[in-house]
Structure formats: structure tokens, C-alpha cells
Amino acid sequence: MNEEAFNTAVLGGGCFWCMEAVYKDIPGIHSVESGYAAGSVPTPSYEEVCTGRTGHAEVVRITYDPRIISYRQIVDLFWKAHDPTTLNRQGADTGTQYRSIILHHSEDEKLQAEASRAAAAADFSRPIVTAIQPIDIFYPAERHHQNFYAANPAHPYNAAVIRPKLDKLKRTGVI
């Protein structure tokens, strides 16, 4: 299929390794790339982003076929794939780089994200703190951060965090 027929969505829900693993095998998803966005430092490194001083969040850029999966379906899954009620953290990962964020490309995406957030609010006992803002620029993460879950099956983070998250999402029929 022609790449021009694909759309992209940029989401941050904690560690980009987790979000990448959640989305990579969903029908209609062409690719998932880990990276950084929503900060002020050009071309940041992982080490710089980890300081919390760049303003960037760890995010994933999801390239998808809108004939198979919609932007709204991608965003609806986002709420189930992390805890959008915790400010600047997911589990043991803390700092602004782990904040919950949706970066939209258009007014239509913004409205869909806001409607999805409003619908998801009923599923949580605390308020959703996810930021929804325009995307400025996406910086791909370093090569060793790409496809991390599949490339590093024995990594302790995969066993402790990602695998249980995926198992729960599969067990509950979310993915």
C-alpha cells in the first residue's frame, strides 16, 4: 500500500517501550516508532529527556491505515493502555517525560481526542490528567529504543512491566 494513504497518531502514556508494545500488533497499525515530543530542546537524546529538563515526553508515533483502524479507535485504546489519572508518572516511572499526552495534527483529531477522553472519564475514579495539544515536532528515539519489547525478550523491564500489561489487555479483550 502507498505510504501516503497512512495517517499518524502521536501518544505518550509513560514509557515508550510499553506504548510501542501495546500498539505494534493491532490490525491496521503499520508501524510504531518510539520518540520524543512536546519539549523545547531540539534533537534530544534519551539521557537529556530523562533529566526532565527538556520538556519532552516519551511518545510513540503510530502510523496506521485509516481504512482498517480509525484515529478514535487508537485513542480509545490509549485510555486502557495506561493510567491517565496520574500526573507525570506511570507505575514506578516518574517525571514529566512519562506524562500522559495526546499530540494532535488537526482540529478534527483534537475534537476526537477530547470526545474520547470525556467518554473514558466514566471508567476512572479520579480525573484524567492527560494533556491534549498540537504536535510541533517528533524526534525519533535512538535505534536501541525501537521495537524494544520484541528485540529484548529477556530484559527485566519487559518481564516486570510490559508483559503483565499486555497479558491484562489480552485477558480483558482490549487487544
Question: Cell digits for 48?
Answer: 537529556
Can you give the residue ranges of every domain in the chain? 3-171
| Positions marked catalytic | 15
What is the per-residue pLDDT across 9-39, written as a single tens digit (0 to 9) for each?
Answer: 999 999 999 999 999 999 999 999 999 999 9
Q: Quote the percentage of the chain above a pLDDT of 70.
A: 98
- The predicted structure's pLDDT at residue 4: 77
The CA–CA distances, whole Å, from 140 to 12, 45, 143 equal 13, 9, 8
| Strand-pair category, 138-140 with 29-37 | antiparallel
Residue 3, pLDDT above cutoff 70:
no
- The predicted structure's pLDDT at residue 1: 56
Q: Which CATH class is domain 3-171?
A: alpha beta
Angle (CA) 147-152-158 rounded to 5° is: 90
Question: Cell digits for 122?
Answer: 466514566
What is the per-residue pLDDT across 48-90, written as a single tens digit (0 to 9) for each?
Answer: 999 999 999 999 999 999 999 999 999 999 999 999 999 999 9
Nearby residues of 116 by Cβ (< 8 Å), 6 or more positions away: 72, 75, 76, 78, 79
pTM score > 0.85 for this model? yes
